[in-house]
Structure 1
Amino acid sequence: MIDFWLAAGLLLLVALSFLLIPVLRSRRAQLEEDRTALNVALYQERVAELQTQQEEGVLDAAQMDAGRAEAARELLADTEGVAAPRVSRLGKPAPLLAAILVPVLGLGLYLHFGASDKVELTREFAQAPQSMEEMTRRLERAVAAQPDSAEALYFLGRTYMTQDRPADAAKVFEKTVNLAGRQPELLGQWAQAQYFADGKQWSEKTQALTDEALKADPKEVTSLGLLGIAAFEGQRYQEAIDYWNRLLEQLPPEDQSRIALQGGIARATEKLLASGGKVAPAPVAKAGALLKVQVDLAADLKAKVQPGDSVFIFARATSGPPAPLAAKRLTVADLPATVELGDADAMMPQLKLSNFPEVQLVARISRAGKPTAGEWIGRSQPLASSTTAPQTLTIDSPDK
């Protein structure tokens, strides 16, 4: 901030100079007027002295006229170059008063409407914090400077949770929800903070928050983990296992929290068995669609293609978007070949084979390498996406 205030001070000095220059000029003019008045007085004194000498008979009329002319020349020489006096309508007090009010009013207006706190925060966040306490102080000042920033509130709430301040975190997450809307992730964070703020006592408020979050997003991870913790603390071990298994399905394989989660499932299983209960088998996940296709080239086309020509094999919905649901790319040199098209080959997550009851298999040869246009094509009859029997597809027709 030092360079900012230095720049502001220099600009203020420039502004003051425009106000004080007229005052300095008027002072200079006053000095010039005083010097002129002194010269006139000396002239008058010289003329009076000459008149006295004439009356005493020391000077005759000619000498008197010569002395008077000499005194006049000296007066003109002394006053030569003196500017004409300027008349100021404002007077001296007005510029001086303005010179005092400008910096005072400028500073007051900047402190009221300015953003010095935000400038300082920007400088601070440009450097890595030395401790978690320092990061917390920065976030608190950021929230104070921007109380309508849901992002700043969210990070402050997460920081409070890492510092074991769930009561403060719950209040912050509530404000975040009011600003950003009732998003499932925010509701889950709020419910978690509220649960720990209540001393790990499950409440109707916490239940309502997790219910709302999972209704909007059944895969919301914070709510699933929290419900598992609450069930485990309440000795409802089967519920804890179920919630944590659902959470485990959402975590990527490389997520480090999977180890802790699997440990929790193991402990819940041990306690359930120790109490005489039985672990219910996990629900079998619905298998995705998988079509096995053998692709070959018609005999009369083998002489017309080149080994490096691209071969696109894909499945598309018979009643649905024209975009391929699953696709593989080979070359003519690979034919004949057997490929599998399944949900793992989906072009987009929302367009999976298993989401459409009926599909058509297509194989296209394209010398330009374009999946949407080529020279020859083969199509199958519509078939169910749940088909498990191997399919045969022959490229035998011009692509029109």
Structure 2
Amino acid sequence: MALFALLAALLAVAALAWATSPLWRQARVPGLAAVALLAVLAGTLYLVVGNPDALDPAKRRPPETLPEAIASLEEALERDPSQAEGWRLLARAYAAEARTNDARDAFARAVALAPDDADLLAEAAESRALASDNRRFDDTAIDLLQRALQVQPMHQRSRWFLGIAQRQRGQHAEAAATWEPLLAIVDPTTAAPLREQIDIARKEAGLSPLPAAVAAVPAPDTAAERGPGITVSVSLDPQLAMRLPEGAVVYVIARQTEGPPMPVAVERLPVSALPTVVTLDDGDSPMPTLKLSQLDTVEVVARVSASGDAAAQAGDFTSAPLHAATGADSRVALLIDQVVR
């Protein structure tokens, strides 16, 4: 049991390292292999729990090498192929061994079992590109990325990959538009090179570079420039306050109600600011082409994010979304009292 707990902890650390890697930077092979090895060791042990053979001390020895772990996981999935997480772990292990076709196929099996997991959809799309001779995202990969963005419109990795796929197809203006919303939610270190890529795409599309103000996302100086806004009161259920993860942040988001739920205004606050009152207006727009003042009605939601990502993830705390009219007298009160499943 102690061994299982240790391996589970290692898996959590590996998963965190994977999730917080730079958005567009390819992982180095040794690092990827280490993550996959930890994941497969813990995942294999998890999958064999409940198997009578696992009670035999002679058969409880954990795999000591990546090939051994892969073999054990393959056997476990042959016994029970209905475990999406098992296929995901196996796919990552294949990728660590540069078995790109096997990784692609294993990710496909995982997606079939968990079609609404945005992280998994992005990984599956990337695996298809890595398995192709020209490293291009094919139609199936693009469908996977678009599905991920339907689940989580601001899923960072999916937006980055979809923009790359659009660039590969000569859709440079579309790629820039796909990437621009990310400028409002990524950290400054990431935003600078991202803006460079957006400007390159815009130049190839025959468009002018983004204004410097768009990249920095500063607040306009005057109320007239900010346009009409929505006053939002945000509070947190006291029962959830006792479960706040360390380093959590709060996003207050207004998004369009027609078409894809794209954000038109976003404010990011430390969780210590709760309860608070904020005003969402054009100064909070993540996109230069879509402003709060352009819409008559928006959907407003507040979310406590443990990861710092604006996209909802399991375990985050959120309010129920409410519709609000835009205008100087618009007010809405949000209570963060739900847990994202």
* Shorter-normalised TM range: 0.3 to 0.5
Larger % of helix: which? 1
Higher RCO (C-alpha under 8 Å, 6+ residues apart): 2
Which has more radius of gyration? 1
The alignment's TM-score, normalised by the length of structure 2, stands at 0.43
